[in-house]
Amino acid sequence: MLFWLYLLPLLARGKTAPRFADWSKAHGKTYENEEVAKVRAEVFRANVARVRELNENDPGVTYSVAGPFADLEPQEFAARLMSKRTAPDVTAESVLIAPRLSDSFDWTDKGAVGPVRDQKALGSCWAVSTAEAVEGQVAVTTGKLVPLSPEQLVECDASTDPSCGGGKGCADCGMFGGWPYLAYQYLEKAGGMFSEADWPYWATGMYPCMPQGYSKPLCGNHDDLFCKANSTKGQGPLHLCHASQGFAVRVTGWRALSRNESELAMQLVQYGPLSVLIEADAGSGGFRGLGFRGFRV
């Protein structure tokens, strides 16, 4: 199952915690001065202690600080990678007839789920989750797993839903967050989705640009963002954000599924890999903003 969330890859239970110097070197971390480095080292050590406690108190789930955000406080993570958002009111489908389910079912074993992607230090989990859910549907239908392009969504999708969240509005905000249901609607209107081979994720040496026409009231104003539009495939000379051909797949519809876990399990088996949204902002409790809280489905 796919989660609309970047979860830090974590410390295997019982292993020695990484040293800050080793961790920062592995992730290419540099800081403005020694004072800032000391502060980040303290945050890192505090997160190591929190992870150790979580591992001791939550058997069956592994937590770690091996990912690139372990020098951030939860509120810093939320401010950097997550836009302010409210939950959309999407009508969910319920299952009326409950078939008997086996104790376990994994689409990975059936070749319908690809390797876990690294979204890097971007709030693009919504785009990655959307791409992998579409990949799963294609694999279930055709038997072929074709990696698709989250970058297309990050660069091009500026969809909004003014009615969502009781009228507060929802939007797809590039590297600052978004919603799979809006992404599906964008893909329907765009005509299709490119393969990752044709449109790879986060080209070296530049950051993805905000999609043209993005909602500043809902996403925040990111006009000062470092961006090389001419070097991107979507907004550069190829103008792939406005393409009418060259797609690897076409998206013709989508549906919201049940919030009931038992029904959701049935729908998972029936339909294929799913994109699941989990509230993970810093204010939702504990260490969810850093991906420390375990999730079971």
What 8-state DSSP symbol labels residue 118?
-
Supply the pLDDT for residue 74.
Answer: 76
Supply the pLDDT for residue 194.
Answer: 98
Supply the pLDDT for residue 23.
Answer: 87
Supply the pLDDT for residue 122.
Answer: 81
Residue ranges and CATH numbers for the domains of the chain are 2-82+281-290 (1.10.287), 107-277 (3.90.70.10)
**Both structure tokens of 192:** 């299709």
Supply the pLDDT for residue 243.
Answer: 96
25-45 pLDDT, tens per residue? 888 888 989 999 999 999 998
Distance CA 14, CA 217 (A): 46
Supply the pLDDT for residue 4.
Answer: 37
> For residue 249, what are the β-bridge partners?
193
197-217 pLDDT, tens per residue? 999 987 666 667 899 999 999
Q: Which is nearest to 150 in space by CA: 107, 187, 185?
A: 187
Cα angle 189-190-191, degrees, rounded to a multiple of 5: 90
**Both structure tokens of 72:** 């951030």
